[in-house]
Amino acid sequence: MDPNSPPKVEIRNVHQHVDQEVVIEGWLYNLRESGKILFPIFRDGTGLIQGVVVKSAVAPEVFANGRELTQESSLRVTGKVRAEPRAPGGFELGVTALEVVQLVPADHAYPITPKDHGVEFLMDHRHLWLRSTRQRAILGVRHEIIKACRDFFDDRGFTLVDTPILTPSACEGTTTLFEVDYFDEKAYLTQSGQLYNEAAAMAVGKTYCFGPTFRAEKSKTRRHLTEFWMIEPEVAYAGLDDIMPLAEELVAFVVRRVLDHRRAEIETLGRDIAKLEACTAPFPRLTYDEAVEILIEKGSEITWGGDFGGTDETLLSEKFDRPVIVHRYPSQVKAFYMAPDTARPEVALCVDVLAPEGYGEIIGGGERLADYDLLLSRIEEAKLPREAFEWYLDLRRYGTVPHAGFGMGIERVVAWICGLEHVRETIPFPRMLNRLTP
């Protein structure tokens, strides 16, 4: 590269280059023409900046090329950064040169225009839709949430231990398993890393895994994906009373981090920030019994022993201005590995955290069955194939201890923090009952 050529700069950093000439590599976001001046808006993935091309001030081909620019054409633009309080972002670029990398043909224009498109159209063009300002804001918040979760556990002495995606058995019930051919055997895409986390916790004490998990959910709701990401901590020598505060601290930490680091994105999304600011610990705690009473008062059809539906979760969350913790559900609605409450064996030592404003369950977890005989009988009752669980039973044969953990679904948290109507926008390429492409 010519040492005298202007530096390449990201749009987010243009404030460091006022009155200097810079090069920006990006795409055309929009173009407005006003007589002998063009106002192209450029984007580069880090921000937007308005360019100004004055016909009388540039070479004739620069102005001619600028006029022909189409939405999403890729380009390298050279220009001088100027402070301009009236421009969006506070800066503008006095364009001196334009190198078009690819001109999107005018007769084959970029399919997503500023007009309104239907959701299915946008989902079919998800690979392009991601370029929009709104989707970019969501991607940024998602990134921050994931990083915050990792920092939270890393800073508290947890060891990341990766768990497998191809597994020989179910973790969360056999009705939502994706089966795959594994040479001459059947394998399943993991529903949760938990069982392996329990092995890891016995090795390192405090562990977490973070990865994609799969549920063959036939439900078409705004909260369900078939592929979603889950962060799952597991702690040896811990019980329900240890992981409830852990879950609470994690959620409060993540919200705080997003408010501190991603305010611009949250504002872009039009999120009500005061509602997020309210989400500080401690969170209200209810037993399942208390939650059922509240629900009946609010007109739900629920009876003791049933699981909460999405509407029940929404009704409950409406009562509080921050996430609510519900513990001790009936064992019959929970997975086989849940430890019963010895004081009341019909309920499990489990916990769900429900997000406010009707965003539903974001965390599920609890204390695990540590007793060999009890665990074996639960595996048999659940009609799970014992052979596939022999290794899991080993954890109870060799130095079993009380232990507990939970899983937090990243997409539900993104939906809540960003204030999105549906989880389909929370993950770059959503997988749902009716969607496997792009």
Which parts of this chain interact with ligand 4AD (CB under 6 A)?
Answer: 171-172, 192, 194, 215, 217, 224-225, 228, 230, 232, 361-365, 405-407, 409, 411-412
DSSP letter for 252, please: H
Binding at 228: pick from Mg ion, ligand 4AD, none (beta carbon under 5-8 Å per type)? ligand 4AD
For every residue of 288-315, DSSP letters joined together read HHHHHHHHHHTT----TTPPPPHHHHHH
By DSSP bridging, strand 360-367 and strand 350-355 are antiparallel
180, 188 Cβ separation under 8 angstroms: yes
In sequence order, what DSSP letters do the residues of 146-195 get, joined into one string? HHHHHHHHHTTTPEE----SEESS-SS-GGGPPEEEETTEEEEE-S-SHH
Backbone angles phi, psi at 100, to 5 degrees: -85, 120
Structure tokens at 194: 């938990």
Smallest separation (angstroms) from ligand 4AD to the CB of 224: 4
Q: Which entry of ligand 4AD, Mg ion, none binds 207, CB below 5 to 8 A by partner kind?
A: none
Select 176 or 268, whichever has its Cβ closest to ligand 4AD. Answer: 176
Backbone φ/ψ region at 205: left (φ over 0), alpha (ψ -120 to 50), beta? left
- Select the binding partner of residue 51 from ligand 4AD, Mg ion, none (C-beta < 5 to 8 A, by kind): none
Considering CB distances under 5 to 8 angstroms, the limit depending on partner class, which of Mg ion, ligand 4AD, none binds residue 411?
Answer: ligand 4AD
Shortest gap between Cβ of 362 and ligand 4AD (angstroms)?
A: 5
Nearer to ligand 4AD, 235 or 315 (CB): 235
Q: How far is the CB of 364 from Mg ion (least distance, A)?
A: 3
Q: Which is nearer to Mg ion, 323 or 364 (CB)?
A: 364
Minimum gap (Å) between residue 228 Cβ and Mg ion: 12
Q: How far is the CB of 197 from ligand 4AD (least distance, A)?
A: 6
Strand-pair partners of 49 = 42
Q: Is the peptide bond before 438 cis (omega within 30 degrees of 0)?
A: yes
Residue (215 or 271) nearer to ligand 4AD, CB: 215
CA gap 141, 202 in Å, rounded: 33
d(C-alpha 288, C-alpha 176), whole Å: 25
- C-beta of residue 209 within 8 angstroms of C-beta of residue 192: no
Please identify, using beta-carbon distances, which residue of 27 and 158 lies nearer to ligand 4AD.
158
Whichever of 24 and 415 has its CB closer to ligand 4AD, that residue is 415
Which of 364, 405 has the CB closer to Mg ion? 364
CA distance 363 to 348: 16
Comparing every residue's Cβ against Mg ion, the nearest one is 364
Cβ atoms 423, 411 nearer than 8 A: yes
**Residue 413 Cβ vs ligand 4AD, minimum distance, rounded to whole Å:** 7
User: Quick one: 42 or 308, whose CB is closer to ligand 4AD?
Assistant: 308
Give the integer Cα–Cα distance in Å for 234 and 366. Answer: 10
Q: Hey, how many other C-beta atoms are within 10 angstroms of the C-beta on 285?
A: 14
CB of 331 to ligand 4AD, least distance (A): 15
Looking at residues 30 to 59 of the shown chain, list those that interact with Mg ion (rule: CB under 5 A).
Answer: none
Cβ 263 to ligand 4AD, closest distance in Å? 25
Give every CB contact of residue 48 below 8 A, 6+ residues apart in sequence: 11, 29, 41, 42, 88, 89, 133
Residues in contact with Mg ion, shown as a per-residue x/- string from 359 to 378 under the rule CB under 5 A: -----x--------------
Choose from Mg ion, ligand 4AD, none: what does 169 bind? Cβ within 5-8 Å by kind. none
Question: Under rule CB under 5 A, how many of the chain's residues touch Mg ion?
Answer: 1
* Minimum CB–partner distance for residue 163 and ligand 4AD (Å): 10
Provide the binding-site residues for Mg ion, judged by CB under 5 A: 364
